[in-house]
Amino acid sequence: MPDTTATTPDEKAAPSTPAPEHQDHETALESLASICTVLAVGLFVMTFIFQNFEIPSASMEKTLLIGDHVLVDRISLAPPSQWAPFVRYREPRRGDVIVFLKPHPETPDLYLVKRCIGLPGDRIHLEHGIVYLNGVAQNEPYAAMPRDDGDPEDAYTPYRDDFPSDLAGIEQAASNNNAALWAVDLPSHIDNGDLVVPPGTVFAMGDNRTKSLDGRFWGFVPRENIVGRPMFVYWSFETPPDQIDKTSLGDRIAFMGHILIHIFDETRWNRTFHIIR
């Protein structure tokens, strides 16, 4: 016969025994794998997408100051690649601030930051520090011009400020700055007093024209040498101009201690997230 037993409302169901909780504990190997993944992603980002650089000299003042730490976009100006067709690339433009490897073998693996002045085919010359691009004087409010204020470095200098007219002066300056090859190559790129930028290169100069060892002293920047474009200053610390020359371990440790002590009062807070143009 069918079971006709019914449960009345007064009957209480027997309490159920809760199922034991299962806690997943991450093993040491899984923890190590997670850390390695984070490091690998971080290394990829800082190597191929963004990179930080510290400004060691006054060649780009007032755009960039000694002690500025900048974040560089390594994607937009990189040579296009087949493996990432979705990435937006573009060619350098006149006026771009660029980071690149210095050309010529005398000083290999040296990163510089300058402003792109001329593109392939452009004709360039300077008159008393003023840039003439394809015959037109350029308005460059960011550029520091030669002046007579008592500082001999800022005084008018023909080979530097009337570039490239004084070939003998340029040859002497190039040899003094380990760029002898440029002094030999330069005359072949001069036409009617203008420097003509060859294909596959750009011509770059620092904004602080009287204190910048730039393309006037070592030549053109090959397109493949361009690393990226600095986007903004993420931290700026007051740094003495001669700090770049202090390369011993003791000097470096001493300056690190100085930073720790003065990080609040010598940080240029007003330059934090300063956009570079």
Residue 21 pLDDT greater than 90, yes or no: no
16 is catalytic: no
Alpha-carbon distance values, 34 to 47, 71, 156 (Å): 20, 26, 59
- Residue type at 120 in one-letter notation: P
Q: What pLDDT, on a 0 to 100 scale, did the predictor assign at position 6?
A: 47
Percent of the chain with pLDDT over 70: 77
**pLDDT tens track for 79-136:** 665 555 556 678 999 999 999 998 876 666 789 999 999 999 999 999 999 999 999 9
Establish whether 114 is a catalytic residue.
yes
Task: Name the active-site residue from 12, 16, 57, 59.
Answer: 59
Q: Give the tens place of pLDDT for each residue, 138-180.
A: 999 999 989 877 678 889 999 999 999 999 998 888 877 777 7
Distances (CA, A) of 71 to 54, 68, 144: 9, 10, 24
The hierarchical CATH code for the domain 50-275 is 2.10.109.10
Q: Which of 16, 62, 76, 114 is catalytic?
A: 114
The reported pTM is: 0.79
Identify which of 146, 274, 143, 137 has the alpha carbon closest to the alpha carbon of residue 204: 143
Of 193, 207, 201, 205, residue with least CA distance to 220: 201
pLDDT at 16 over 90: no
Tell me how far apart the alpha carbons of residues 135 and 276 are, in angstroms, rounded to a whole number.
28
The angle at the Cα of 104, spanning 99 to 110, to the nearest 5 degrees, equals 40
Q: Which of 242, 268, 229 is nearest to 88 (CA)?
A: 229
